[in-house]
Structure 1
């Protein structure tokens, strides 16, 4: 937005006054005239601003009714500009439009100047990371769009570019003048996002998500600031590793309900997985117990997450690259994104506000269970009043609202991927089941570390199908140089987690599902490069909800192995994954055959 002010300064300089007065229509001459060697022909309209005059040929379907006013006796004081000059042409468009088109015209004029400024800015002596050549103006817009538009997944495409351009660490593209740099190697990600995290702790300006769809309150999207640090600290205090034992009973109860539902309505297993993940978060954060199989808060959260995933995919919406498009009216042709954003904003606000309002009402009635929200509100001293208390309550509300996204959605993705892999690898499933059965009882979270092969299966699931194949983007806070490649300030930095977890230098035969890669020959110790290192982000922006997500995944996987054998349909399905921020497999079918462990689940 740095060029917005110069745009506004330049328009009055070139065009003097916006909008122009309408041409007069009465008491006028009907013949051509001249002024200071300017020829004003019959059929042209004269526009008068407060300080300027332009003559434009009036385009009509018949004889013009516009005439030149003779009552105005004051001599013209400003020059008359040619209709072929760019700036008067823009003003002419504005003047001839209805008043509701004014923001459209200004938006497009500003966008044009903004684009010119981006392409003319000074280039340094260092080269940019290589990448595919783009088209004029739009650049590589199509290249960064989701796979549904191009036929392949973005993470696979970006990894292929590193091979095509012989640049294993980083490649880059430009979209409407904005630079996107993709990190495809473990080395580049650690060097840039970990070792230089202070330079890359910011987020891009996600205009579609934050400004239009109402996700500004999501601290994962916030710019690097004291406000962001306060949100993260508030959240992390309740979701760090030492807090996990407090939640074991909640995780266990929710998973047992899921297992019982697998037995009674196996065709709806996708809904049951979502309910397990959602009920855990709602119970921990708000003290809320699911009321029905189709609890409204679960549906509310699912709607919000689907909207969030769509709005955060780079390249999907032009407004993310041309911020002036925010001001285009929703009725304008091509502005369907504004209408969608209006619906998505409602989902975002409901996700944050409705559970909070339920809890506030419960607290006034004295019927509340201990939760993230209630504990944080209790910490607020009675001496904290007024604006300070209101601001802190807003932080707590924001952290509570985003908890579902931080933990539940990633959990759902991982559990569904696990089920899918067990269908295709029955020998691995059988081996893991034998290990779980060796406990002689249902697994407990205290058993973590005692089931090395089962934990290797979980690790391989996260490696083969990372829940976020492309991490939520970072932004460069200053110009930087890495391995002789220039990284401009405010560049969008995307870590290709999928590419790292499928790097042949790190994992032999990476396209094969092989849990043994994480075990030593004695079958007891994990390989040091665990996918957890990369699966939940990097540096100061690493997901603070990862410990809850990993524990939820562990208890779900071990319970499923203890109670069911998973098989696929008679006709084998080819299942693909969504190309989104969180990648889910598309719906698929499976069968749950009960095992003896099912009898250990309380009724």
Structure 2
């Protein structure tokens, strides 16, 4: 009887309409009770497009949005929620104090799945695997563990000083080699070649392609993952063809140095390093985790390279700051030795220069995006589960001026709530860079050592006229100075003698 009633078209239509009405009213009621999302630019295509954000220097657009909408800017990109954070306080509240909610990463289909970077725990989703990898990495690179690497850092910085004297025109390669040599020796007991090292070239090639892909919003497939199933020959599927090619370098960066250590262990020629320590302490089933943990270390030295290259640009354009720093060093080392880590407490201005290099040109101006694992309400605004959080961390008062003294009086800065140390250059909360202690040590000893023995100045042409160059930085996910020239000359005969001791 009941079945017969529902077979009548009129009654079935009425029931279906009633159910639809109840569901619609329920959804609308929940939305009415729910707080609104933050203000921001509107999407196109009824919410399935995205506002126009340039592929380079997107932080300038975000700063303009901050003036229009405030410190919290919300928009939808192909149906995905995105929040731009233009305030250190908001970033701290969300990414530090509410780390349990905002410590995951967006699902970056292009990088993680197509390009093969799913092994890098920096981009992993918040999970037990991520916690395991990070814990292992921290065991070797925490603030106490890095002290045992200081002799190696001193050795490599001396090689760096010698290479600058031998071929100052190759500044970038020497800087890149210095950072890579430290990481490769610690992780794999590999001695980097003076020129054309295979692993340096491999890492550079892999990272140069990753830098572009890492820009938030660079690839539509990150918002519409179903596009990953488009065949590479399909018109418009350039991203698939690129990913196939780029994936080869990503996987080689993961496996080649690891396999090199395994071969040496098999032949009895392996020296002590983090990889051998991990392999000797794990069983066969856990061995697969080791290359993922150590391979991630190769991606961290780009922060070091960017900061040191920024230092050379800053010194070339600020000779008075350079002279003040050199005077501080001379009072401590008296010109007859190079600085050591024991001198750190006596060289506060050098430490200020380190922080200013990280602030003036933050390696990742937009940090690494976070993602929420549940709905949240902040300052009366609703953030849906899965919202991507992009911290726009580059903004500081008088941000374009290189001024290390802004960090000289920490107590006064704290009282005025200004000039906080740019520790956010290494990330936020539970996703802070675990290699930051090694990076800070390397940047500090490199800057102190260079200033102890070299003058850095603007280059001159064949007629002795100073060559002026604009101060420009790349506008992608990892920012570093655009190619430049500078003059690097020994400060004195005594300084040259220290350089030649290597």
Q: TM-score, normalised by structure 1?
A: 0.73
- Equivalent runs, 1:338-487 vs 2, <5 Å: 338-380=240-282, 384=283, 389-390=284-285, 392-406=286-300, 408-438=301-331, 439-440=333-334, 441-487=337-383
Distance in 2 separating the partners of 1:595 and 1:121: 74
Distance in 2 separating the partners of 1:181 and 1:121: 25
Distance in 2 separating the partners of 1:521 and 1:351: 41
2:137 maps to what in 1? 235
- 1:353 to partner: Cα distance: 0.5
* 1:343-385 C-alpha deviation (Å, 9 max, x unpaired): 11101001011111111111111112111111112223xxx4x
Distance in 1 separating the partners of 2:133 and 2:411: 44
Q: 1:138 to 1:571 in 2, by over 3 A?
A: farther
2:405 maps to what in 1? 516
Distance in 2 separating the partners of 1:203 and 1:132: 23
1:127 maps to what in 2? 36
1:546 maps to what in 2? 436
- 1:447 to partner: Cα distance: 1.7
- 1:580 to partner: Cα distance: 2.2
Distance in 2 separating the partners of 1:122 and 1:332: 42
Distance in 2 separating the partners of 1:581 and 1:573: 23
* Runs of 4+ in structure 1 over 6 Å off: 525-528
1:81 maps to what in 2? none
More helix by share: 2
Gaps of 5+ in 2: 1-27, 460-465
The match for 2:64 among 153, 160, 170 is: 160
Q: Give the match's secondary structure for 1:409.
A: helix
Distance in 2 separating the partners of 1:349 and 1:123: 45
1:86 maps to what in 2? none
Contact 2:407 2:421 in 1 (8 A): no
Q: 1:200 to 1:121 in 2, by over 3 A?
A: farther
Q: Give the match's secondary structure for 1:274.
A: helix
Contact 1:575 1:585 in 2 (8 A): yes
- Equivalent runs, 1:131-150 vs 2, <5 Å: 131-136=40-45, 141=50, 143-147=52-56
2:463 maps to what in 1? none
* 1:14-68 C-alpha deviation (Å, 9 max, x unpaired): xxxxxxxxxxxxxxxxxxxxxxxxxxxxxxxxxxxxxxxxxxxxxxxxxxxxxxx
Q: 1:256 to 1:175 in 2, by over 3 A?
A: same
2:17 maps to what in 1? none
Gaps of 5+ in 1: 1-119, 148-152
- 1:581 to partner: Cα distance: 2.2
Q: TM-score, normalised by structure 2?
A: 0.88
Q: 1:572 to 1:185 in 2, by over 3 A?
A: same
RMSD of aligned Cα (Å): 2.2
